[in-house]
Structure 1
């Protein structure tokens, strides 16, 4: 079944909330223990998209949202403004079908096109499938934080991975082209 990617819209929030809820309850990608309600997910969506970061939806032929990915500020101090953090969530029926790869590939391209220079992946539970996906798309392991979260009756590590975007550190960024609104006066 063909998959298409497009910008996520506020009308996608019920499906996004459902996917995230399942991930919070059953997975280790998020260290949240109680799934947020749709109004909280809407506030998060607005905060991310309102600052100019990409938020992408993966849709099947029938118009069903199978997964989503977004970039957001890695940290909010101004020197970090050229670095983004990726987040990817898939519904159970979408896992293992290459949809995560499609979403991350598109997210990398959009962030590169926007002028960001680095992308970090903060992988909860040091999840092997997420590590493999990021490694396949050029991310390198830059650190592991041990026993950072306790969920589902066990301690979880957090893997930090990173990849350069565009020219990376090979040149200085042009502050006049910064895409987000987080650091603009």
Structure 2
């Protein structure tokens, strides 16, 4: 996970993070998410190499938001175009739904994350907002799209 995410931190605008997380950081993060009752899933290739991960966390800290989650997914570049992202995203959302989530939010960069935007749209997310020029990274002014998916039947 650290290897996959570091690429997005240092070489892309898909995340606004500027310092890569360590393997230890990821261990703490995954344990915290699971302790809070939300799924943290890891996809592996046939040889056991991690090729992607997805998780959900609370959208906001206030209790009124407890049933709304923010979803996150990252794939190794070699894993794109093989259905891994769709399977991982669908599974993490199904798990979140089974654990009581009613709404899912995705925050996607408006530059350099076209694949992520397309993936989210493919599984049913709809664009509900666009925050323009709210960040700067790699010499670019960046915004984010807010996407939402109802998890209610």
On whether the aligned pair clears a TM of 0.5, the verdict is yes
SS at match of 1:135: helix
Aligned residue number for residue 107 of structure 1:
92
The two structures, once aligned, show a CA RMSD in angstroms of: 1.3
Shift of 1:40: 2.1
Are 2:89 and 1:89 equivalent residues in the alignment? no
Following the alignment from structure 2 to structure 1, what is the Cα–Cα distance between the partners of residues 104 and 98?
13
Following the alignment from structure 2 to structure 1, what is the Cα–Cα distance between the partners of residues 108 and 115?
10
Q: List gaps (5 residues or longer) in structure 2.
A: none
Q: TM-score, normalised by structure 1?
A: 0.78
Greater C-alpha radius of gyration: 1
SS at match of 1:107: helix
Number of equivalent positions: 152
SS at match of 1:24: helix
Shift of 1:64: 1.2
| Equivalent pair of 1:123/1:159 in contact (CA under 8 Å) | yes
Q: TM-score, normalised by structure 2?
A: 0.93
Match 2:11 to one of 26, 29, 35? 26
Q: List gaps (5 residues or longer) in structure 1.
A: 1-15, 168-185
Aligned residue number for residue 137 of structure 2:
151
Moved over 3 A (4+): none
**What CA deviation, in whole Å up to 9, does each residue of 1:120-168 have, x standing for no partner?**
001124522111111111111000000111111111110000010023x
Following the alignment from structure 2 to structure 1, what is the Cα–Cα distance between the partners of residues 18 and 92?
27
Aligned residue number for residue 48 of structure 1:
33
Following the alignment from structure 2 to structure 1, what is the Cα–Cα distance between the partners of residues 109 and 58?
17
Following the alignment from structure 1 to structure 2, what is the Cα–Cα distance between the partners of residues 72 and 156?
23
Structure-to-structure mapping, 1:58-97, within 5 angstroms: 58-97=43-82
